[in-house]
Amino acid sequence: MNSTEKANKGSRRFRYIKLCIFFSGLSVFAQLYLFQPILPTVSEYFKTTAGDSSLLVSSSTIGMAIGLLFFAFKADSYSRKGLMTFSLVSSAILTIISAWMPSLSLLIVTGILKGFVVSGVSAIALAYLTEEVHVSVVGFAISMYLSGNTIGGMSGRIMATILAGELGWRNAVLIIGIESLILGLVFWKLFPESRFFDPQQTDYSLKIKQMKKFLTDPYLLRLYFIAALLMGSFVSVYNYLSFRLEAAPFSLSHFVIAFIFLMYIFGMFGTMITSRLSKRFSSRHILNASVLFMLAGTALLLSDNIYMIIFGLGLFTLSFFAAHTMASQMTALHARQGKSSATSIYWLFYYFGSSILGTGTGYILHAGSWNVFIMLLIFSVGISFLLAVRNKE
């Protein structure tokens, strides 16, 4: 292949990009949410509440949001591959270290640091793909990255639940950290260097102008708020569903609850379905339908029937990933210049939504009931639907 051509389907360069971008998503999300399914175990270990223990998840996403704000200005100053490799390796080392932290507060601080460094991947992955991959396969490459996110989130949660139940939560964290380090080293060895991007000195006035433009663009602003509300709702369900399923009338074991997270497979289907549907339907219509189905899935979680909850969770998960895939792709393609800034702001809203709603709803659940908690999420997803319907280029 000519070095001036972008990576196209069938080329060796595209195969390596596809594989490594998948591994990066796998590593980031396995680490980011590994504490989520074991919050009841950690809560009991440190003798704390559901809301306080949820800070273990929110700390990483707060760190992620801070890092994305930093990289919105600095990402273009570094080599794309160099920054992503540093992020993957250093975050894995922090995950390994966190297995020995003696207190909840130190674990939370480590989580903030881990979120900050790993944000380097999310800040530039979509920008790298739109720069290096041929336009005909950009959608496919983005769906591979998001599939890695999905499978990473699923495998990290399932492994953490099973390993914590069998070996203790500290050993579960250690094993996931070691696996993430191996993925980071494979990425460093195989991921192709950029051909269509050269690191440049940060022009802060230009960056501020770009960010101001993106934050005052009604189209992008709606996508950003959709990302925040949907991700906050998604994380809330997966943060606290374990508490619901461990209690009466379900009283499920940790081993059975682990397999509830196999619902993440539906998330992978969500990214794949949108990739195919986008060739036949407009992005806007796919996003609208995805958010509407997510609303239906959320409502089904009000049920006291375990099979209805499982069906609702599957629909909720598939629809969330379909909506997220579409919204992130629409953001990356809408920004003509400053793609890394536009996508960084998207992820910034995404993770702030995760942190604020993900922890806030825990305190509401603790003070109220499961039904009140779910009604709040229905309201959040409903607002997202109204924003999606109004969003026209």
Angle at CA 15, nearest 5°, toward 9 and 16? 145
Range with the poorest average pLDDT among 61-70, 209-218, 255-264, 342-351:
255-264
Q: Is the pLDDT of residue 100 over 90?
A: yes
* Across 233-248, average pLDDT: 89
pLDDT digits (tens, 9 = 90+) for 303-324: 999 999 999 999 999 999 899 9
Q: What is the pLDDT of residue 225?
A: 97
* Stronger pLDDT, 253 or 92, i.e. the higher one: 92
Q: Give mean pLDDT, residues 363-392.
A: 94
Contact 59, 108 (CB under 8 A): yes
Cβ proximity of 322 and 283 under 8 Å = no
Residue 193 included in any domain: yes
pLDDT of residue 1: 43
In a domain, 7, yes or no: no
What percentage of the chain exceeds 70 in pLDDT? 99
pLDDT at 318: 94
| 6: in domain | no
pLDDT at residue 4, as a whole number: 63
Neighbours of 360 (CB within 10 A): 16
CA atoms within 13 A on the CB side of 341: 22
**pLDDT at residue 337 tops 60:** yes
Give the pLDDT confidence score for residue 373 in this predicted structure: 96
In a domain, 381, yes or no: yes
**Cα 47 from Cα 197, distance rounded (Å):** 50
For residue 143, what pLDDT is reported? 81
Q: Is residue 4 part of a domain?
A: no
DSSP label of 133: B
The Cα 355–Cα 362 span in angstroms is 11
Instruction: Name the domain count of the chain.
Output: 1
Q: Provide mean pLDDT across the span 280-289.
A: 93
Residue range 74-79: mean pLDDT, rounded: 86
CATH code assigned at 176? 1.20.1250.20
What is the per-residue pLDDT across 131-188, written as a single tens digit (0 to 9) for each? 899 888 887 888 888 788 878 888 888 888 889 888 999 999 999 999 999 999 999 9
Residue 235 lies in a domain: yes
Residue 59 located in a structural domain = yes
Kindly tell me if the per-residue pLDDT of 208 is higher than 50: yes
Domain that holds residue 296: 12-390
